[in-house]
Chains A and B, each alone.
Chain A
């Protein structure tokens, strides 16, 4: 537990000092929302159907941007060698990276939600709590697989280029369920209507958190 907290704290301190990951993610989010605003004809009839998918597309695009950075930082000056030399369980290293990625994605999700709600004038007052739950579960699913795959991608020839290619097909269940659940909330639905989506999301999160933690030791290496 201590090692987990130590690695996590190192990541947070590092990010607080440089602010490079969060700032670029935030800037990208704003740009994406502006582009959506100008490229789509959004009116009262289609807004609640369009915005959920736009929101989640933005989340995975911006999230991928952040994911590819978390291990690139460790590669600089071979910092990863230091971590790997210390007697740390690889799954602890994995979990700490998942949590730091999760934190970035949660922050960005709230920024994006705020932007969409304000700029597209959506009413979410009824289901804010459930919406937060959906976004949290989606973010967990995204960062569990994202962390594993970003570690893989950074060690290949294509580097960051490979990450979206291997990540997006696998997280399709997350996207399908998160978009549907979000769209129910935007249309004024309640918790009962979204519970099947939430169940699949929870299953996805648990299955992949365990699997990824198990296989992580095969993926992380100093080369």
Chain B
């Protein structure tokens, strides 16, 4: 079963790399730099899923008090921080030639930045909260607060005019079919990668707990 997951993920990752770099047509205005957009979307998607998992499992931990929810929240947060860092890096690489700057304080970027800080702080609380149960409770409380905080950060930053591209939904420019396929493959393969990482990380964390106790 695990071998199958590994194989499928590997194949899909290679396919999505091919799709993003070769299969998808070159964007007319931005040129080749636009190809990083597929990985950018993939990483931000994984980070979003990861932080939603952190939020939900934190609530479950506070209600049920079962250790497995805490382990899930922690491991998911760690992977989320990794992928949101990648999102910021790929976004900056894309923004430099297209916008002419590495960074700007537009609502989406501001929210992403705060998101990044909040979950780094989440990991920081885990390092500094002493014994297990207290650590789990504090970080769960913080995860819930942080998640609720994000929409408010976005709304507050919204007053400024946004320049991040809105691709889908009302006002979006739409997307060419081949690009859409490449994007979908990337999203699927990144999701599988996330599941794979999460399973492995939970296993390591459980071993870690077994060793320390």
Contact = CB atoms under 8 A, between A and B. Distances in A.
B152 A200 contact: yes
Interface stretch (A4-12, A17-25, A119-127, A153-161): A153-161
Given A157-B130, A176-B157, A218-B141, A170 B118 contact: yes
Interface of B: 62, 114, 117-118, 121, 124-125, 128-130, 134, 137-138, 140-142, 144-146, 148-149, 152-153, 155-157, 159
Contact of A148 (B117, B130, B141): B141
Given A162-B128, A166-B125, A173 B148 contact: no
A88 interface: no
7 contacts: A145-B145, A157-B129, A169-B121, A173-B153, A196-B159, A200-B156, A207-B148
Query: Taking chain A's interface residues, is the majority helix, strand, or loop, or is none over half, making it mixed?
Result: helix
Contacts of A211: 144-145, 148
A169 B110 CA distance: 11
A84 interface: no
Contact of B128 (A158, A219, A223): A158
A137 to B, nearest CB: 13
State the majority secondary structure of interface residues on B: helix
Contacts of B148: 207-208, 211
B188 to A, nearest CB: 32
A155 B142 CA distance: 14
A156 to B, nearest CB: 5
Contacts, number: 78
A180 B159 contact: yes
A177 B153 CA distance: 10
* Contact-residue bracket for chain A: 20 to 34
Interface string A191-208: 000001000100110011
B81 to A, nearest CB: 14
A208 B149 CA distance: 9
**Which residue of B130, B153, B155 has the most chain A CB atoms within 10 A of its CB atom?**
B155
Given A165-B124, A166-B121, 17 more contacts: A145-B145, A155-B134, A157-B129, A158-B128, A162-B124, A169-B118, A172-B153, A172-B156, A173-B153, A200-B156, A207-B148, A208-B145, A215-B141, A215-B144, A218-B62, A218-B137, A218-B140
Given A156-B128, A156-B129, A180-B159, A166 B114 contact: no
B145 A219 contact: no
